[in-house]
Amino acid sequence: MKEIFEILEQNGRATPEQIATMVDKPVSEVEKIIKQAEKDGSILKYKAIINWPKLGKEEIWALIEVRVAPQRDVGFDAIAEHIYQFPEVYSAYVVSGTYDLAIMVKGKNMQEISNFVTEKLAPLERVQSTVTHFLLKRYKENGEIFHLPREINKRLPITL
Amino acid sequence: MLNTKSAAPKTRDSLISQKVATLPPSGIRKFFDLLSSLEDVISLGIGEPDFVTPWHIREAGTYSLEKGYTMYTSNSGMPELRQELASYLELRYGLSYHPENEILITTGSSEGLDLTLRAILNPGDEVIIPDPCYVAYPADIILAGGVPTLVPTSEENNFVIRATDIESRITKQTKAILIGYPANPTGAVISEKEANAITELAKKYDLLVISDEIYARLIYGVEHICFPTLPGMKERTILISGFSKSHAMTGWRIGYVAAERRFIQALTKIHQYTMLCVPTMAQIAAIEALRNGEAEIEKMIQEYNRRRRFMVKRLNDIGLPCFDPKGAFYAFPSIKATGMNSEEFAEKLLRTEKVAVVPGTAFGTCGEGFVRCCYATSLPNIEEALQRIDRFIRKSRLNT
């Protein structure tokens, strides 16, 4: 069963028929497993990984370290929830180490991100400090490598 | 007739050994030329993994260069590597080979095969091989002064060589049986029963078995039969294998031979006068492959298996019947229903739909009526290739 999800994780467009062939199970069974997983939240969503810069769309990203004061009963959850609801926040994590929350923020330009930090994030009562790192170059994301050089054919076209 | 007393200058041809001059070239030259003139070809004709060597293995190789490991190693290979291999064979198959004198590291399994044949054959000695088989088998036997005895195999038996067919071809000159399962080009594996029948013959007629187990790790849902583990066979089996297929290391050229001391000594003699030793960088990378490579192998096997099921089902669906190949990364469908022969099929398919497959006849006359399709390429490639093959078959049906 795990294999079905591994295949979907690699290729969200794999059809139940294709998957059924690959894992050697009836199509109906694969369909049932996928439907169930979609229903119970094991599969959250199907998305495409878009290489926006290639399409000419400028984007700017920042990784922000946030130190916060945890709250009684809810720990970091309440403040994390408060922060991740801003649409600028793309990902949010609680981390171990010298700061508490790591958030990935995306904006049209540097100004937009700096506005978010100075006007929305930093003024929050429970936020003690922030450190903003602008991303200069993306190499790999979600297991996918960006900026691949044009693949040269490493294999001979036919070998015995 | 050559007149040795003549003062006339030798012709160019006479400078080439007769053995080499008469050796037929590989059967795919024509395809190579045609292929390079076309664009957008999807090749199912490649006999190597599409994965790049796992990063930790490549990294061990580059690190060895940084550290200056650029000298010769011992002829037989680095002691650490032979030790790792001995442990690997022990752990995996319960085989006990002494790392000091029963294992030889070779420049790919190809060198291992060449050394073996040169070390055991006297002129005229016969070696039994299946037809079809990997292209180097008959050529290497001839180059080593031997005579290949081809044993026909057929689709009914998934192209696995049968003991009864072997026995009727054994002569006083027969010295060895050379087989390789999982098989190139068919993807077939040998069952324990079939293997045991062969070992009975080997014992009865005092023959060696040269077992080319380069595809041993690429096996799906069945147990690999490792020849030296069969009763009474360790002393009469020369086990040849390597890292090319299991660890996606074809370009590193590293393999090994495991056998009793008397054989390894003989092979090492030739190896030390010809190859000296395997490139040091490759040996260090191979040590890393053995120590930490299992997880990556498992991942590759899983991926191959998905593609295998996909390709075999599609081939059968589109009317190219294909038995379930349980090893290597090849499917060997029959193209008889198309009315074309293997070469014609492969050439027309390449010209009209730009899909490269290898005609079965490249591997022996018994490969007629079949083509080899390799699934060591991405799933989207396999899908697209099979769509094109489907279209090709439909069109050719309309035209006949």
pLDDT value of residue B400: 65
Q: What is the pLDDT of residues B183-223, one digit of tens each?
A: 999 999 999 999 999 999 999 999 999 999 999 999 999 99
CB-count burial class (<10 Å; 0-12, 13-18, 19+) for B56: middle
User: Out of A11, A24, A160, whose CB is closest to B358?
Assistant: A160
CB atoms B356 and A3 under 8 Å: no
- The residue-averaged pLDDT of B304-324 equals 96
Size of interface A-B (CB pairs under 8 A): 53
Cβ distance B134 to A160 less than 8 Å, yes or no, reads yes
B window 6-45, beta carbon within 8 A of A: 26, 28, 31-32, 35-36, 41, 43, 45
Measure in Å the smallest separation between the Cα of B46 and chain A Cα atoms: 5
Mark whether B141 and B237 lie in a shared domain: yes
pLDDT tier at B2 (50, 70, 90 boundaries)?
A: very low
Q: What is the pLDDT of residues B17-46, one digit of tens each?
A: 999 999 988 777 778 888 888 889 999 999
Quote the number of domains for chain B: 2
Q: Which of B256, B273, B292 is the last residue of a domain?
A: B292
* pLDDT tens digits along B263-278: 999 999 999 999 999 9
B8 part of a folded domain: no
Do B23 and B68 fall within a single domain? Answer: no
Could you tell me which chain A residue has the CA closest to the CA of B314? Answer: A21
What is the longest distance spanned by two Cα atoms in chain B? 67
Distance from CA of A152 to the nearest CA of B (A): 13
Dist CA B41 CA B43 (whole Å): 6
Note whether B213 and B80 are within 8 A (CB). no
B7 falls within a domain: no
Residues B237 and B281 in one domain: yes
| DSSP string of B105-116, one letter each residue | EESHHHHHHHHH
Same domain, B233 and B138: yes
Give the chain A residue nearest B312 (alpha carbons). A21
* B341 domain residue, yes or no: yes
Same domain, B215 and B71: yes
B231 and B357 co-located in one domain: no
Cα-flanking dihedrals φ and ψ of residue B100, to 5°? -75, -40
pLDDT tens for the 160 residues of chain A, in order: 899 999 999 899 999 999 999 999 999 999 999 999 999 999 999 998 888 888 988 889 999 999 999 888 888 999 999 999 999 999 999 999 999 999 999 999 999 999 999 999 999 999 999 999 999 988 888 888 876 666 666 788 888 8
Identify all chain B residues contacting A7, using CB atoms and an 8 Å cutoff.
306
Tokens of B277: 């030793």
How many angstroms separate the CA of residue A141 from the nearest CA in chain B? 18
Q: Are B110 and B163 within one domain?
A: yes
Domain ranges for chain A, please list them.
Answer: 2-40, 52-141
Question: Is B3 inside any structural domain?
Answer: no
Do B269 and B308 lie in one domain? The reply is no
Chain B residues lying within 8 Å of A24, measured CB to CB: 309
Report the distance separating Cα B45 and Cα B48, nearest Å: 9
Out of B292, B310, B336, a domain closes at B292
Find, in chain B, the residue whose alpha carbon is nearest to that of A160: B47
Secondary structure element (H or E) that encloses residue B350, with its range: helix B342-353
Report pLDDT digits (tens) over B102-153: 999 999 999 999 999 999 999 999 999 999 999 999 999 999 999 999 999 9
B206 belongs to a structural domain: yes
Sequence-separated (6 or more) residues with CB below 8 Å from residue B394: none
3-state secondary structure of B174: strand
pLDDT of B9 higher than 70: no
Contact across the interface for B302 and A155, Cβ inside 8 Å? no
Q: Which residues of A touch B384 (CB under 8 A)?
A: none
Mean pLDDT of chain B: 94
Residue A70's pLDDT is 86
Q: What pLDDT score does B13 carry?
A: 61
Beta strand B237-242 with B208-212: parallel, antiparallel or unpaired? parallel
CATH number of A52-141: 3.30.70.920
The 3-state secondary structure of B178-199, one letter per residue: EECCCCCCCCCCCCHHHHHHHH
CB contact under 8 Å between B46 and A24, yes or no, is no
- Decide if B190 touches A, using CB distance below 8 A: no
Report pTM: 0.89
A83, A89, A90, A93 alpha-carbon torsion, rounded to 10°:
-30
Which CATH number goes with the domain that contains B340? 3.90.1150.10
Q: Domain residues for B106? A: 55-292
B26: in domain: yes
Same domain, B233 and B380: no
> Across the interface, which of A18, A24, A159 has its CB nearest the CB of B46?
A159
pLDDT of residue B88: 98
Q: Which two tokens stand for residue A156?
A: 């001979």
- Domain limit, last residue, from B261, B292, B323: B292
Q: How far apart are CA B238 and CA A21, in angstroms?
A: 38
Its sign, for the CA torsion B198, B203, B206, B211, is positive
Same domain for B266 and B339?
no
Q: Least CA distance to A18: which residue of chain B? A: B310
